[in-house]
């Protein structure tokens, strides 16, 4: 499976896999995004299956997939979480997912439900999910796979929930700046209220930290919201410590943006200053040509002129008839007369 890197040494599937390898967060994910599944399998009895086995030929290991086993209407079955972190939806995704499911079904001798998780992609793109091959009346191959396309989801219902997995995964949905702040605050608050285990808390925190980098204004909003919650709810006393990385990152981003703006302004100022210096030097050469020996007296006056005045001087110089006229013009421009 192709793996898209979303940071230095980090891939989309690495981050979401960290969430879904926590049993409690996996169950919450299923309840939020695959609600029909709860009526078919016993979510409290999900078991992870080791599927990191060698593949035929040169096909690589599918390190982004998660395979879990569950009781399916009284019998054992398996559910394959196939995580696609590609930046664009590809037409062959469904075929590839069905292939993976059949390989795992043959290996483990269990029926496999393939689920496609799209962690990237463009909001307007239609995700795949149905394979339908027809051969007249002779044969038909039909497969329908659940597709969870985060970029196409509206986040409001998940932001209002107490489901930590759903709150964290809103990071992949289109969020406004205020919703980003809410997602971070509520993910951490619910993690503490529900007393998540350390590995679960770390997985949720790492996910929103990566996908919701804050600007300086947002960092201040998060800091204020967390301070208020920690003061009113004793069980959230640890929130300031958890949220500190977000605030510090926001401040760093603010400083970097300020430095970059300063550098950009400095570059612009440098270009303008260079142009003005060049105009003064050109005017000085013209003075020397027209009035030899006058350059030493003109130079200290020219450096006091702005860009518009230097241009005006160059035009006036064409019609000057004597060194005295030249000096008089410059002194007036400098306010000395």
Residues 87-141 have pLDDT tens digits of: 566 777 788 888 888 888 888 888 888 888 887 666 555 566 788 889 999 999 8
Q: What are phi and psi of 47, to 5 degrees?
A: -130, 135
Tell whether 148 and 43 lie within a shared domain: yes
| 285 domain-assigned | no
| 282 domain-assigned | no
Q: Which of 105, 136, 152 is the last residue of a domain?
A: 152
Number of domains in the chain: 3
Tokens 């096909």 — which residue?
A: 59
| 117 domain-assigned | yes
Tell whether 166 and 220 lie within a shared domain: yes
Cβ atoms of 85 and 4 closer than 8 Å: yes
Could you tell me the pLDDT band of residue 166, with boundaries at 50, 70 and 90? very high
Tell whether 139 and 165 lie within a shared domain: no
Tell whether 45 and 103 lie within a shared domain: yes
| 25 domain-assigned | yes
Higher pLDDT, 94 or 247: 94
Tell whether 100 and 203 lie within a shared domain: no
Q: Which of 152, 179, 204 is the last residue of a domain?
A: 152
CA nearest to 308, candidates 337, 281, 275 = 275
| 188 domain-assigned | yes
Tell whether 122 and 179 lie within a shared domain: no
Whether pLDDT at 204 is above 70? yes
Tell whether 197 and 89 lie within a shared domain: no
pLDDT in tens, 209-221: 888 777 777 778 8
pLDDT in tens, 7-19: 444 555 677 888 8
Q: Which domain holds residue 258?
A: 157-274
| 128 domain-assigned | yes
The mean pLDDT value of the chain amounts to 78
Tell whether 240 and 323 lie within a shared domain: no
Could you tell me the pLDDT band of residue 161, with boundaries at 50, 70 and 90? very high
pTM above 0.85, yes or no: no
Tell whether 191 and 133 lie within a shared domain: no
Helices (H), 147-292: 156-159, 164-169, 177-193, 198-211, 216-232, 239-290
Query: What is the H or E stretch that residue 79 is in?
Result: strand 75-84
Tell whether 67 and 205 lie within a shared domain: no
78 vs 114: CA distance, rounded Å:
9
Tell whether 103 and 244 lie within a shared domain: no
Task: Give me the pLDDT at residue 167, please.
Answer: 96
| 182 domain-assigned | yes
| 286 domain-assigned | no
Q: Mean pLDDT throughout 247-253?
A: 46
118 vs 93: CA distance, rounded Å:
10
Q: How far is CA 283 from the centre of its chain?
A: 52
Query: What is the H or E stretch that residue 147 is in?
Result: strand 147-149
Q: Which of 274, 301, 323 is the last residue of a domain?
A: 274
């Amino acid at each position: 499976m192709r793996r898209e890197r979303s940071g230095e040494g980090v891939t989309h599937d690495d981050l979401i896999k960290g969430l879904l390898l926590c049993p409690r967060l996996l169950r919450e994910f299923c309840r939020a995004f695959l609600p029909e599944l709860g009526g078919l399998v016993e979510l409290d009895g999900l078991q992870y299956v080791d599927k990191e086995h060698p593949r035929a030929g040169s096909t690589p290991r599918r390190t982004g997939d998660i395979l879990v086993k569950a009781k399916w209407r009284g019998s054992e079955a398996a559910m394959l979480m196939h995580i696609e972190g590609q930046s664009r939806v590809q037409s062959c995704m469904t075929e590839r997912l069905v292939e993976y499911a059949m390989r795992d079904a043959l290996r483990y001798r269990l029926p496999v439900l393939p689920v496609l998780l799209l962690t990237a992609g463009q909001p307007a793109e239609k995700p795949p999910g149905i394979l339908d091959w027809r051969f007249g009346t002779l044969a038909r191959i039909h497969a329908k796979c659940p597709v969870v396309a985060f970029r196409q989801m509206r986040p409001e219902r998940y932001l209002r929930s107490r489901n930590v997995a759903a709150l964290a995964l809103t990071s992949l949905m289109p969020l406004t700046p205020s919703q980003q702040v809410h997602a971070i605050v509520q993910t951490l608050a619910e993690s503490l209220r529900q007393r998540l285990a350390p590995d679960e808390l770390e997985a949720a925190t790492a996910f929103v930290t990566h996908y919701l980098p804050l600007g300086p204004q947002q960092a201040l909003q998060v800091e204020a919201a967390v301070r208020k919650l920690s003061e009113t709810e004793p069980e959230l006393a640890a929130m300031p410590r958890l949220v500190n990385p977000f605030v510090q990152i926001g401040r760093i981003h603010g400083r970097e943006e300020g430095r970059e703006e300063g550098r950009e302004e400095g570059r612009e100022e440098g270009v303008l200053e260079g142009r003005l210096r060049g105009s003064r030097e050109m005017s000085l050469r013209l003075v020397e040509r027209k009035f030899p020996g006058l350059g030493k007296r003109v130079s200290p006056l020219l450096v006091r002129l702005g860009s518009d005045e230097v241009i005006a001087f160059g035009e006036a110089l064409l019609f000057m008839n004597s060194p005295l006229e030249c000096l008089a013009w410059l002194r007036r421009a400098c306010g000395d007369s």
